[in-house]
Amino acid sequence: MAAMWELLVRFWETSGFAQAYWGNLVMIGVGLLFLYLAIRKGFEPLLLVPIGFGILVGNVPYNVSNLSIGVTDGPVSEEELVYYTTDQPVTIEGVEVPPWTRFFPPQDSNDPPARRYLAKDLVDQGRAVMVHAKSLIAYSGPVERPGVLEVRQGRRILAVEPSPEGRYPAVVTPKEMDPWNAGVYWFFYRGVAWGMFPPLIFLGIGALTDFGPLLANPRLILLGAAAQIGIFGTLIGALLLGFSLREAAAIGIIGGADGPTSIFVCTQLAPNLLGAVALAGYSYMALVPIIQPPIMKLLTTPEERRIRMEPPGTVSKTARIAFPIVGFLLTAFLANGALPLLSMLFFGNLLRESLVTERLAKTASTSFIDIVTILLGLTVGAKTRAGEFLTWQTISIFVLGMVAFALSTAGGVLFAKLMNLVSQTKINPLIGAAGVSAVPMAARVAHKVAQESDPQNFVLMHAMGPNVAGVIGSAVAAGVLLSYFG
């Protein structure tokens, strides 16, 4: 009987119930909220269902010391490793390195040029530790002295140099450098980390998008450009809050309301913020019907909302085919950093408009984009582990993302009103809010708000012009940021 009881106790201690802490429960609650919004409220279910379920996957608690590899864990790259001495000083090439001091890679030119193999030997001898410089774990407990601390679920941190938001680098073991020692979600996540999934999503978007409303009224592209003001305004705000230039650029791109672009920029500029930036970007895409209408009504009068626009004209087949080719060359020359996104976007649109590649266009716009969306959503959601996600920094990112999105919405509306001051042909300023690249949600919201003031006012096709322009605008803005800060 005692043996059976001991077996049950051991089973309980190794289960997720015993390993869980409040952070896991909070994140599981966030995942359930995403699923509720998607299934019950219909908020972007194609995005929020995979992301919400991915959050559940990433926050199932387990003890890493009891598993050979976790579902989302994977090998650590040599370039991401930093070596510290332990509690005893070490002499390296005639120079004594004090306890708990980084000695490889060198922090500056005055450090001794220690070799990597020597660092590994010291780890094997127990005289040094390896830490993953890009894996930061939140820890709010007491740190009496520098050293390696055991934190929840068997993970270890090096409590020597905390980040400003109270996070510490994770201590890793030599077995974690085995390139085949990885969970299945880690392999899926390579599509995000290596920047493959966002361009593939853009291929599908291009095959789905009709640029006809924009070609019929080319001046609407200015509204798509004006709506990117939130990106650069929030970049300044993030800098004022203490984020680095690269981090601020990654946060600012949320203002474009374009999840794939946010992920693409963040993986290159601030991969440590990817979970928060991706979650914020997709959250605000889904909440367009809630966030935008109050801003639109605040900045417009009832008379402006009732402005009717002439139906858009027809666009020739030649113009439709020439646009993706000319548009790609112009934007790619202007913003080289976004070449992968722009090339896939315009290539997908060329497949659609050429009318000779219908099978390819159909595949790109249906099953292909659906598969990539599933993998992208699951892996991004699984990346939001509580220990790395629940920090004040994450809250700051969500607040800044909201500011960015609000500024982008306001920028589009106000620029539309400015255009009305200098043009004889009036446009409904509500369509300026569709300049964010949440396609087609933002255009639908503009149409709905217009019909609240005049049920016979149909601005949907007009709003699609700045909406598709916003897709191009956010990609170009991303390219500019990557060119400057990448």
Residue 143 pLDDT level (bands cut at 50, 70, 90):
confident
* Residue 319 reports pLDDT greater than 60: yes
**Helices and strands, number each (H, E), in the chain:** 23, 8
pLDDT reading at 227 higher than 80? yes
Same domain? For 199 and 156 the reply is no
Q: Which domain holds residue 114?
A: 78-177
Q: How many domains does the structure of the chain reveal?
A: 3
139 or 189, higher pLDDT: 189
| pLDDT attached to residue 177 | 67
pLDDT tens readout for residues 45-84: 998 999 999 999 999 888 776 666 667 777 777 777 888 9
| Residue 262 binned pLDDT confidence (cut-offs 50, 70, 90) | very high
The backbone torsions φ and ψ at residue 292, rounded to the nearest 5 degrees and listed phi first, read -75, -45
Per cent of the chain over pLDDT 70 is: 94
Both 428 and 467 in one domain: the answer is: yes
- Evaluate whether residue 73 is within a structural domain: no
Q: CB-based contacts of 339: which residues, under 8 Å, 6+ apart?
A: 332, 479
In a domain, 234, yes or no: yes
114 and 32 within one domain: no
For residue 91, list its beta bridge partners: 96
Supply the pTM of this predicted model. 0.86
Instruction: Examine the domain organization and report whether 232 and 268 are in the same domain.
Output: yes
Angle at 154 between CA 179 and CA 121, to 5 degrees: 50
Residue appearing with tokens 């595949």: 363
Between 74 and 460, name the one with better pLDDT.
460
| pLDDT for residue 258 is more than 90 | no
Report the C-alpha gap between 56 and 267 in whole angstroms. 22
Q: Are 297 and 229 within one domain?
A: yes
The pLDDT score that the predictor gives to residue 162 is: 65
Looking at the fold, whether 202 and 103 belong to one and the same domain comes out as: no
Residue that finishes a domain, picked among 159, 177, 195: 177
pLDDT of residue 439: 86
**Position 168 confidence tier, pLDDT thresholds 50, 70, 90:** confident
Q: Is residue 238 part of a domain?
A: yes
Mean pLDDT within 346-359:
96
| Same domain flag for 427 and 301 | yes
pLDDT for 54: 95
The residue from 155, 177, 199 where one domain ends is 177
pLDDT at 394: 87
Do 401 and 448 belong together in one domain?
yes
Q: What is the pLDDT of residue 95?
A: 81
What mean pLDDT comes out for the span 152-180?
76
Give the pLDDT confidence of 412-437 residue by residue, as tens digits: 999 999 999 998 889 999 999 999 98
Specify the pLDDT at position 347.
98
Helix 288-299 vs helix 441-453: crossing angle, to nearest 10: 50
Q: Same structural domain for residues 353 and 204? A: yes
Q: Residue 311 is which amino acid? A: P
